[in-house]
Structure 1
């Protein structure tokens, strides 16, 4: 396959209505050259509608789709030169692997010799050259997914669009193919746009994630930034798990503020330059379970809350604990099991601790 430079995509005020229902609501987004962007959200959030609008299968009610700054909104799908991999792969059952991969080239009128060369390159890329003569029914689900990828890449597309391509696979195979897909993206340098509702897949694969809810773009950013600094309750709750602590701001604190939450006085740190909320204002914090520790006797922490274990589960790499506290209600904590001196038990009293920067202020969601 020929080397290709990734193309940049822009969405400008993209809106799609179906009668009174707004499936996509004024979404503007930039996708950089060679970037792997994932559209993430629950069912009905608008992510697939956006992908179909990018592909040209859905016409926006308002707004525009730009490729390298040029408006391509009026172009039909066949004029956009985008590769697409669907959830069900959509392979032709009566064609061999090589014939499936060659199909887009035949449609474009490419010569047999040139087709054969490009098909060999595409199958080498996805490590399926030895399977060229097989039918789809003779392949595993993971191999079929690779054939679909090869077919989408064989004609050197400007973008590769992925509509939940791994969702039909079991968990172990899905994790393996996530690694392969990420490595493939790095090798070929094209721009990938992926749709999924799987948070782990989005975190694992993406350079950036755009989180959608009710057709609106809620927050976009690098996976680590979204996970560690969510802006809203929805983002914190949807992208992983979180405890939510609500209270009243009592006073500024160096680099942050003090929050009175129930009987607890919590120290909250803020990023450099971010002003603290006013004293007396209500504040909502997101606290990830893995950022909480169970303190040994006499051990100190910036924030300490006492409680009692209600239930616990062994998850292999860690323990998941539900702890009832006097002032903050139920808190969930995840602790590593490897070389842990802590042995959980129902009813066991515990002291929980976390650093000041572990709890992040988030906004309540607006209906």
Structure 2
């Protein structure tokens, strides 16, 4: 298995309607050879319907699915040669691990000697060789998921499709399997298309993430770009946590703009087109980009507030700070050598840089 074995996938205007309900609305995207793409969105966003259309289990109402520029929209699932891993593993309980992994090869009529060699290689790949003779019921959830991955990869599929493969695992095991899955992707060089509603999973696993809402593609890009430069309120709110600051543009400068929110004046760096003076603006500000200012410290943006609530999270504190003009602001404060001991009613002064926030569109404006 090598990166050269990866295949490019393209969706062109893909739509799926069920009567008067539109599950997928004109989605177009491209996955390059060997990339790991995650389809991310809330329940009902259309991500699983898209995956099933790629697999061939759902016929699109409109649009096309292309593999290496070849239209495969009408091709039945068994002729697409795609591997698939489901949320519930879908292992045969009466078969051993080796027999489960060998099943796709038996269906294809592969000779016994070649089949056994491929099964051994696939189990080595997921570090389960010593469990070859066990039944699925004798394995942990994480081990069963690795068997499902080995079975999906053993026949050298053109694509690997993953339908929320880690959602049945507990948080700690899910984090471990995320690392293993990412390493596995690097080793095999296949093109992976993953579906999840877990933002952390999407950020940690993917080369690119496609964010969906109500069947539409809202934004697609590298995880760090989507997190640092969301275009809309929905993307900023769904991918991580964010504060949303409303203001009116009062001044436009070459390097940014000044906003007024009640009696509070904010400065904001802006790349590209600037909003016109007098127009409303919405900023997305991540909690970890806010600092607590000491009496002798200053920042480009400063706001006074009072701690309304707080929680200790191990690595840090989550603070809810009530302000006069900006509403409640969430702050992520590292616990190690924190400058304060949080308590309700404690006055604090918040600060952040002009380029810490990013202007975003209200979702109605983006549509």
Interval of TM-score (by shorter of Structure 1 and Structure 2): over 0.9
1:126 matched to which residue of 2? Answer: 126
Range 59-68 or range 253-262, more displaced: 253-262
- What does the per-residue CA deviation read over 1:243-278, in whole Å, with 9 as the maximum and x for residues that have no partner? 11111100113411001112211000023xx12110
Give how far 1:339 is off: 2.1
2:336 matched to which residue of 1? Answer: 338
C-alpha contact (below 8 Å) 1:253/1:267 kept by paired residues: no
* Alignment CA distance shift 1:243-1:3 (3 Å): closer
1:199 matched to which residue of 2? Answer: 199
CA distance in 1, matches of 2:159, 2:101: 17
Give how far 1:184 is off: 0.3
CA distance in 2, matches of 1:180, 1:104: 23
C-alpha contact (below 8 Å) 2:3/2:190 kept by paired residues: no
Give how far 1:4 is off: 5.1
CA distance in 2, matches of 1:27, 1:109: 37
**Partner of residue 305 from structure 2, selected from 304, 307, 314:** 307
Matches within 5 A, 1:24-173: 24-173=24-173
Secondary structure of residue in 1 paired with 2:5:
coil
1:285 matched to which residue of 2? Answer: 283
CA distance in 2, matches of 1:289, 1:280: 27
CA distance in 2, matches of 1:4, 1:280: 54
Task: Report the TM-score, using the length of structure 2 for normalisation.
Answer: 0.98
1:256 matched to which residue of 2? Answer: 256
C-alpha contact (below 8 Å) 1:7/1:191 kept by paired residues: yes
CA distance in 2, matches of 1:4, 1:137: 36
CA distance in 1, matches of 2:188, 2:52: 23
CA distance in 2, matches of 1:186, 1:54: 22
After the TM superposition, list the runs of 4 or more consecutive aligned residues in structure 1 that deviate by more than 3 angstroms.
1-4
CA distance in 1, matches of 2:185, 2:252: 46
CA distance in 2, matches of 1:261, 1:253: 18
C-alpha contact (below 8 Å) 1:294/1:352 kept by paired residues: yes
C-alpha contact (below 8 Å) 1:250/1:257 kept by paired residues: yes
- What does the per-residue CA deviation read over 1:37-56, in whole Å, with 9 as the maximum and x for residues that have no partner? 00000000000000000000
C-alpha contact (below 8 Å) 1:4/1:188 kept by paired residues: no
Secondary structure of residue in 1 paired with 2:110:
coil
1:356 matched to which residue of 2? Answer: 354
1:212 matched to which residue of 2? Answer: 212
Q: Calculate the aligned-residue CA RMSD, in Å.
A: 1.0
User: What is the aligned residue count?
Assistant: 365
CA distance in 2, matches of 1:221, 1:201: 15
CA distance in 1, matches of 2:124, 2:7: 24
Give how far 1:91 is off: 0.1
2:11 matched to which residue of 1? Answer: 11
2:241 matched to which residue of 1? Answer: 241
* Alignment CA distance shift 1:155-1:3 (3 Å): farther
Secondary structure of residue in 2 paired with 1:134:
coil
* Alignment CA distance shift 1:347-1:2 (3 Å): closer
CA distance in 2, matches of 1:202, 1:156: 24
